[in-house]
């Protein structure tokens, strides 16, 4: 059986999103994938090659001013070299983000990732969870406590450091990593059988 390769292409302005990137990586590894963390504001040619060889790419960025960070946008624009050759066509894609507000327009960042993936011809993997923390019997510790479907969303108070990333949000990011790795395995088996 082929071991899926999952790469997490992320930017983290103050360390909060890096915590989530590590969680996505951990979930993917737990599900049997080989996983790579790629900090996009320091990306090398070798890391571009890792992305090219990956079965799945998970995009991650903080949400700043209603969208992904400037550093992530620079990476997205640089990926146009891959777009011209459709180098990432039929790879899997997913995304995660963090902001200080409960909403913070995180959905817009995830939609930006979805459009980026679609332009590359990639297949989007959603979170695959019901919303948590939305009834009298629910708790803030539920997976998907912010009720986002497109990807993993996290909220961290703006006056706290990376150690304050909510444990439920970390667990949700781990779930996303497992889900992407499992989907990559299924896609690889399907390709092999076709």
Which of 162, 132, 128, 156 has the alpha carbon at shortest distance from 144?
Answer: 132
Strand 67-68 versus strand 56-64 pairing type: antiparallel
Q: What integer pLDDT is reported at residue 193 of this predicted model?
A: 86
Cα(185)–Cα(182) distance, integer angstroms = 5
pLDDT confidence band for 1 (50 / 70 / 90) = low
Specify the 3-state DSSP secondary structure of 103.
coil
Cα(70)–Cα(63) distance, integer angstroms = 10
Q: What is the pLDDT of residues 27-73, one digit of tens each?
A: 999 999 999 999 999 999 999 999 999 999 999 999 999 999 999 99
Cα(90)–Cα(173) distance, integer angstroms = 23
Q: What is the pLDDT of residues 8-39, one digit of tens each?
A: 999 999 999 999 999 999 999 999 999 999 99
Tell me what the pLDDT averaged over the chain comes to.
96
Q: Residues 83-119, buried b or exposed e (16+ Cβ, 10 A)? A: beeeebeebbbbbbbbbeeeebbbbbbbebbbebbee
């Amino acid at each position: 059986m082929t071991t899926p390769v999952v790469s997490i292409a992320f930017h983290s302005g103050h360390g909060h999103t890096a915590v989530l990137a590590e969680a996505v990586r951990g979930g993917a590894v737990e599900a049997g994938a080989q996983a790579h963390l790629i900090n996009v504001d320091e990306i090398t040619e070798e890391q571009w090659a890792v992305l090219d060889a990956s079965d799945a790419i998970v995009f991650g960025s903080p949400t700043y001013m209603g969208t992904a960070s400037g550093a992530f946008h620079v990476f997205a624009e640089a990926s146009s070299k891959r777009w011209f050759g459709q180098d990432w066509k039929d790879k899997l894609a997913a995304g995660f983000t963090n902001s200080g507000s409960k909403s913070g327009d995180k959905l817009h960042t995830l939609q930006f990732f979805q459009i980026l993936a679609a332009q590359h011809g990639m297949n989007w993997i959603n979170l695959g969870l019901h919303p948590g923390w939305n009834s009298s019997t629910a708790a803030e510790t539920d997976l998907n406590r912010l009720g986002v479907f497109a990807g993993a969303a996290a909220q961290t108070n703006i006056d706290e450091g990376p150690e304050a990333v909510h444990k439920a949000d970390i667990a949700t990011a781990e779930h996303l990593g497992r889900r992407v790795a499992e989907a990559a395995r299924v896609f690889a088996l399907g390709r092999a059988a076709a």
